[in-house]
Amino acid sequence: MPSNTQIIINQFGAAELLAFQESELPQPQAGEVLIKVAFAAVNPIDVKTRAGLGWAAQHNKNNLPWSPGYDVSGSVIKQGSGSQKFNLNDTVSGFIGFPLRAGGYSQYICVPETELALMPEDISLECAAAIPLAGQTAAQALEKAKIQPKEKVLILAGAGGVGHIATQIAVAAKTEVYATCSSDNIDYVNGLGATAIDYNLQGWQGNLNDVDVLIDLVGGDNALNALSCLRPGSRVVTVPTITSSIVCAKASELGFIGMGMLVEPNITQLEELLHLISAGMLKIKIEQIFPYQDVVAAHRKVEKGHARGKILLNMQS
């Protein structure tokens, strides 16, 4: 019987503190399936939690060792009693264990079948691991903002994991999309149908005004500076939880509607996103796939920012 390698956090801190743990294969309980994980996505929340920041770290500080990872793709290799949603060898995608259980950085994991979606046959396992958290964050941020056709929408970090998906959804909704990115990603973001803005250009905010909706995927000073682009009564949805209260307070002070958000797993929405990919209406960009043994390098890559699209771990490499 194969063993199960998991990537774990024994103590909060630098990426180098990530460790590996060997265990026997877990056994699915009632309503669960055992997944052989093909790919797991590395998300900014994983990096922040590993560093000891945010609510997931706060809630798990007395629960270490803890395995991060909320996005997985893989195949069903065993079913628990009462499991009827999937057949053996079905390929699935999941936004699992959010916000506290996690565990996606595992070669094998037991997951409630209610947290998994059947993959369309023409989608890669890579795309299926990249979409759950980022895709639902993008979709729910735009839903919360109640975007309308012809409105001006500004997305901060439009080439990133969440940003490149949010940009495509906002363009498809017939809004006028502006998205900040590095100079290396200007052509890429323009190719998504948005107007790309190089965030390194000093005072770029002065060239954009009357924005109806700000989707903030960066937080902090970058978000606060972008508020100058908005018209009175604009809506601001800020995703980074660490600076959410500051951004919302400043937005309110300036006469805008400021809203923080925490993504909520929604299996119907995940199935819809998978079908959009299958239909060619949503394109997922994967910048790099690391062997799971190189998880430290993967975390450093996400920590630096500037990735175009998603970073994945190959859990079977």
- Give the pLDDT confidence score for residue 2 in this predicted structure: 82
What does the pLDDT look like over 272-298, one tens digit per residue?
999 999 999 999 999 999 999 999 999
List pLDDT tens digits, range 135-150: 999 999 999 999 999 9
1, pLDDT greater than 70? no
Q: Tell me how many degrees the CA angle 44-138-112 measures, rounded to the nearest 5.
A: 75
Instruction: Give me the phi and psi of 50, to 5 degrees please.
Output: -60, -35
Q: What's the CA gap between 57 and 97, in Å, rounded?
A: 14
Please state, rounded to an integer, the average pLDDT across all residues of the chain: 97
The alpha-carbon radius of gyration of the chain (Å, integer) is: 20
CATH topology of domain 136-260: Rossmann fold (3.40.50)
More confident residue, 257 or 2: 257
Topology match between the domains 4-131+284-314 and 136-260: no
- Report the pLDDT averaged over residues 48-68: 94
Residue range 248-259: mean pLDDT, rounded? 98
User: What pLDDT, on a 0 to 100 scale, did the predictor assign at position 54?
Assistant: 87
Q: What are the percentages of helix, strand and coil residues in the chain, rounded to 5?
A: 35, 30, 35
Can you tell me the mean pLDDT for 159-167?
A: 98
Q: Which amino acid is at 253?
A: E
Tens of pLDDT along 198-224? 999 999 999 999 999 999 999 999 999
- Say which amino acid occupies 175: T
First CA to last CA distance, the chain: 18
What pLDDT sits at residue 317?
87
- Residue 108, exposed/middle/buried by CB under 10 A (0-12, 13-18, 19+)? buried
Helices then strands (H, E): number in the chain? 10, 15
The reply to whether the predicted model has a pTM over 0.85 is yes
- In sequence order, what are the residues at sequence separation of 6 or more whose Cβ sits closer than 8 angstroms to the Cβ of residue 197? 178, 179, 180, 181, 204, 208
Please state the domain extents for the chain: 4-131+284-314, 136-260
Q: For a pLDDT cut of 70, what percent of the chain falls above it? A: 100
- With a pLDDT cut of 90, the percent of the chain lying above it is 97
| Beta strands 176-181 and 195-198, pairing class | parallel
What mean pLDDT comes out for the span 167-184?
97
Fold of 4-131+284-314: Quinone Oxidoreductase; Chain A, domain 1 (3.90.180)
